[in-house]
Structure 1
Amino acid sequence: MKLYMHPVSTTSRPVMQFIADNNIPVDMEVVDILKGQHYEPAYSKINPNHLIPMLEDGDFRLTESAAILRYLAEKIGSDTYPKDLKQRARVNEVMDWFNSNFYRDWGYGLIYPQLFPHLKREDPKVQEAVVAWGKEKSKGWLQILNDHWIGPSNKYLCGNQLTIADYFGAAVTTAGELIHCDMSAYPNIQRWLANFKAGPNYAKIYETFNGFCASTKGQPWQAI
């Protein structure tokens, strides 16, 4: 198998870490999204979405981070994707919640329009409004994540067992570190992330990302 990825990519990191944690034999091929390599003809030909990650398993290609996590977990029979119907449904629910609700406003409303020039609105007033909207909506989603999904007693998102929802959700949530968001108002999120970051391969997989975060420190971000 081969994974097309980049270590800075929010959606690549959960797949990379799952692969590392489970010692799955997968070749890593970096697609340099910071230089626009995902738009070059060679990659566009095999993934017209121009996005990473993408998994190749023989002649089978699979895109979308959450789908790849489900596929790999099923392929190796991992307990992180429970067989029990209701437990698996809960994992799917949380992953869909991150994709459909949280990431939309958190990533593409608050973080990325400030960080990446191609997502910044040309009109300063429009840009200001987009970020303000993203910030306000993100506060609501963070409260739901803190109070409902995690709560005061869960170690992880779906209870006290690590699931693929944690791999995906942690990568999305830690994207806030790019603009140095302060999570002190959300103690359950802080505790959950601390539990996840204690995993054996977190530091290695997130090394490039953490370096990128360090390079953005001190800039005038609109952050939580």
Structure 2
Amino acid sequence: MKLYFHPASTTSRIVLLFAAEEGIELKPEVVDILSGAHLSGSFPSVNPKRLVPALEDDGFIVSESAAILRYLAAKTGSAAYPTDLRERARVDEMVDYLNSDFYRDWGYNLIYPQLFPHHKRDSDAAQQCTVHWGQERVRNGLAYLDSVLASRRHLAGDKLTIADYFGAGILSAGELIRVDLTQYPNLNRWYESMRALPSWPRVSEALEGFKGMLKDTPFVSIP
């Protein structure tokens, strides 16, 4: 199986971490999104949405990191995606919440408008309103996740699942704008347990490099 990805991509790192921890062998194909390689050449024929990651398995292509996680877990029989219908529904419920409701505000209303010029709003007033709206919504989301983890070891129960890999990858983007999770003790405990996974340092090398580049940049964050 071939994975088209970029190491700085949040959603790519989700898949890379899961595959590394599960021992799933993937042939890596870096798509240099920083130079626009995802917009031209052969990649649009792989993923017409022109986004990474994308997985190719013997001519069958899957895009979207959550779908890729489910595909890899089901294909390999991973315990991280339980076969019990109710347990699987809890996993899917959390992945879908993180991927839609939470990520919309976390990524596209708080983090990315402050990091990337193509996400910045057209006026200073619009930018400020977007970021502060995202900040307030994110606080609600973080409080919700903290409450969930008050009675669970992991996001979907007491076992490590693809919801944890997905959630940890999404949460890791907050390190770029220096989000402080210590005010959410249950969430912070869980996130630190994910950061302690053996493969995390290698998968997160690009994230750490990006953080270093931004160390003196002021951000609206979650203090």
Q: What's the TM-score bracket when you normalise by the shorter of the two chains? A: over 0.9
Q: 1:95: which partner in 2?
A: 95
State the shift of 1:45 in Å.
Answer: 2.3
State the match for 1:75 in structure 2: 75
Q: Is the 8 A contact 1:54 1:64 kept in 2?
A: yes
TM-score by length of 2: 0.97
> What is the correspondence of 1:10-49 to structure 2 with a 5 Å cutoff?
10-49=10-49
Letter in 2 for 1:210: E
Residue 200 of structure 1 aligns to a residue whose secondary structure is coil
Runs of 4+, deviation exceeding 2 Å: none
C-alpha separation between the residues in 1 aligned to 2:25 and 2:181?
A: 36
Residue 41 of structure 1 aligns to a residue whose secondary structure is: coil
Return 5+ residue gaps in structure 2 as ranges. none
- Counterparts of 2:34 and 2:179 in 1: how far apart (Å)? 22
TM-score by length of 1: 0.96
Q: What whole-Å deviation, never above 9, does each CA across 1:10-43 have from its counterpart, x for those lacking one?
A: 1111111111112212101111112221111321
In structure 1, C-alpha distance between the alignment counterparts of 2:212 and 2:171, rounded to whole Å: 17
Partner residue, 2:188: 190
Cα distance in structure 1, aligned partners of 2:188 and 2:158: 15
Residue aligning to 2:59: 59
C-alpha separation in 2, matches of 1:18 and 1:78: 10
Match of 1:207 in 2: 205
Give the equivalent residue in structure 1 for 2:220: 222
2:26 is equivalent to residue 4 of structure 1: no
Report what 2:149 is aligned to: 150
The answer to whether structure 1 residue 137 and structure 2 residue 137 are counterparts is yes
Q: Answer whether contact 1:66 1:95 (CA < 8 A) is retained.
A: yes
CA distance, structure 1, for counterparts of residue 123 and residue 103 of structure 2? 23
% identity of equivalent residues: 50
Q: How many residues align?
A: 222
Deviations 1:80-121 (A, max 9, x none): 000111000000000000011000000000000000000001
Corresponding position: 1:125 with 2:125: yes
**Residue 166 (str. 1) matches residue 164 (str. 2):** yes
Give the C-alpha shift of residue 142 in structure 1. Answer: 0.7
SS in 1 for 2:55: strand
Alpha-carbon distance in 2 for matches of 1:111, 1:118: 12
1:154 to partner: Cα distance: 2.0
Cα contact 1:109–1:130 (8 A) shared by 2: yes
SS in 1 for 2:206: helix
Partners of 2:180 and 2:197 in 1: CA distance: 22
Q: Distance in 2 between matches of 1:170 and 1:178?
A: 14
Q: Residue type of the partner of 1:25? A: E
Aligned partners of 1:180 and 1:32: how far apart in 2?
A: 26
Answer whether contact 1:155 1:195 (CA < 8 A) is retained. Answer: no
- Tell me the SS of whatever aligns to 2:23: coil
Bigger mean CA offset, 106-115 vs 12-21: 12-21
Deviation readout 1:31-67 (Å, 9 max, x if unpaired):
1112221111321222110111000001100000000
CA distance in 2, matches of 1:87, 1:45: 36
Instruction: After superposing the two structures, state which structure 1 stretch, 39-48 or 58-67, moved more.
Output: 39-48
Give me the whole-angstrom Cα distance separating, in 1, the residues matched to 2:124 and 2:36: 25
Instruction: Give, in whole Å, the separation in 2 of the partners of 1:37 and 1:113.
Output: 22
Q: Note the residue ranges of structure 1 that are not aligned, 5 or more in a row.
A: none
